Amino acid sequence: MSSAFVVILAAAFFFGHLPRSSYTLPCSPGQCQLSDACTNSRECSRGLFCSACAADGDAASACHRYQATDVISIKGGLAFNKYSWLTTHNSFAILGEPSQTGPRTTFYNQEDTVTDQLNNGVRAFMLDMYDFLHDIWLCHSFGGVCYGFTAFEPAINTLKEIELFLASNPSEIITIFIEDYVTSANGLTKLFTAAGLKKYWFPVSSMPKDGGDWLTLTEMVSRNYRLLVFTSNITKESSEAIAYNWRYVNENQYGDSGMQSQTCTNRAESVFKCQEEKMAKLPCCGLLQAE
């Protein structure tokens, strides 16, 4: 791993939820550890609570972590790429989120609101953005098209939650990864401007292109570069100054296939894009995101 890499840990479902091989082993009250079976939160050790993970289709209860470790409190002021940041996958696909477009038929990945995710330590968000109903919406869809039954809410609602958190926490830094299906002219620029987030923008021109370290957290906070935004659309780096994801990000394989012991395989897009960039003699993989 080069010095330019930052590890971003993505919780595919409710963060703190890990695979469990058995629910049958009892443990003493207050001694149950992460992923141990439980019947109530008193059985779980400090910092854990007892819950099923409905967003994961899991009906059995186990001990879950409700808050991430504040890495800055351990050692502050290092380069951004020296930290691991908790990330949620499909951060907007929240179980129980009211539908504004009729019955919803799609997958859910989270149980907490975006505000609760922020308060519990999530510092990076994966958001799928589409043109829909003359606006930009968050959808968990397919084929590059948002439908009423796959739509969650206008993206500006989630972005305003993030803006409120940044305004209330002036030393915090947030990263957004956009799976980008937006085709409207300057759509993302207009969206982030309307959400009041442009004042926190980390400019592409300041992102490392040579494999070196990113700015330190102290530098980022002092310059108010507290929002990093990446898009999956390569054209938007030149047209809207939004960093092209695969020029700076290398993702480990998501899902069960990325959880194999003693292996660390890349997501297919990472391998292809990194090779493409290298062949063109362009900088590649300035940031590592491990799902």
Segment 196-255, tens digit of pLDDT: 999 999 999 999 876 678 999 999 999 999 999 999 999 999 999 999 988 887 777 777
pTM: 0.78
Q: Which residue has the tokens 């803006």?
A: 163
CB atoms within 10 A of CB 127: 23
> What tens-digit pLDDT sequence spans the chain (291 residues)?
333 444 444 443 333 343 444 444 568 788 888 888 888 888 888 878 888 876 666 778 888 876 776 766 667 788 998 888 889 999 999 999 999 999 999 989 998 999 999 998 999 999 999 999 999 999 999 999 999 999 999 999 999 999 999 999 999 999 999 999 999 999 999 999 999 999 999 999 999 876 678 999 999 999 999 999 999 999 999 999 999 988 887 777 777 777 777 777 777 777 545 555 554 444 444 444 434
Q: Which of 214, 285, 217 is nearest to 246 (CA)?
A: 285
Domains of the chain: 7-16+68-290 (3.20.20)
d(CA 129, CA 204): 20
Which pLDDT score, from 0 to 100, does residue 224 have? Answer: 97
What integer pLDDT is reported at residue 200 of this predicted model? Answer: 98
In this prediction, residue 29 carries a pLDDT of: 82
- Give the pLDDT score at 241: 96
pLDDT of residue 63: 87
| Residue 168 and residue 118 in contact, taking contact as beta carbons nearer than 8 Å | no
Kind of pairing between the strands at 7-11 and 84-88: parallel
